[in-house]
Copies of this chain bind each other. A is one copy, B any other.
Amino acid sequence: MATVDFLRKLTQATPASCDQEHIPLVVHFSSQTPDRSDALSGVGPSPLPALIESALMIQRSGARGLVIPCNTAHAWYDDVASAIHIPVLHIVDAAVEQLPPALRGQPVGLLATSGTLNSGIYAARHPEIHWVLPSAHVVDLFVMPAIRCVKSDDMTRASQLLDAAVYSLVEQGARAIVLGCTELPLARSDRNLRVPLIDATDALAHMAVRWALSGLPPASEHMKGL
């Protein structure tokens, strides 16, 4: 459902009034890819062979660029990007772009899978940001259960768990919070949580549309050079 959510956001971010103005896409719902967090915790097989196979298939189909609407999979970003010759946009760059400029230098919370948190992909890609991370307790008790609820389509419970995780980061001083797992935006409630929530899925959709319509190299390529 996270991939469907990404595709919906990509379609809505595209200025189009007929089919032909929409961006041609080839999408692989590679649901059999081994669980990324399990692999990063050393309790499951690596998803890398499946990720590369998927990337090669998409490249063969004629696609000119790749996006991976899964934050945790970005722990293998370098390996995937070097296995193909088309550019790969980076979801962390996309999320960071969406931080309100007024909050520059302020603490930014990150809610993500244990895999994303343990592999440190947000901090490694954007060390200039003061990241506020949830405790292992909050991850185990609220974040991972929220993600599992979305994967099994229990949105009410997912939403309560996400709110609890958000409150804990606000208590730790976060002034904005990145929803750094593509399942989490699906669990958003309408409740006012006092800080802006940055939806990494939506951010990647907007970056992808901008990239596809402009023909420019992706922002991630620029950023890598900085």
A positions within 8 Å CB-CB of B: 1, 3-4, 7-8, 11-12, 16-35, 57, 60-62, 148, 151-153
Contacts and interface: CB of A to CB of B under 8 A. Distances in A.
Contact of A31 (B12, B24, B152, B153): B24
Given A3-B7, A18-B152, 11 more contacts: A4-B8, A7-B29, A18-B148, A19-B33, A19-B151, A22-B29, A24-B30, A25-B31, A26-B28, A57-B61, A57-B62
- How often does this chain occur in the complex, in copies? 2
B25 A28 contact: yes
B32 A24 contact: yes
Nearest to A8: B4
Nearest to A19: B31
Contact of A20 (B32, B62, B152, B153): B32
Contacts of A26: 26-29, 57
Contacts of A30: 24
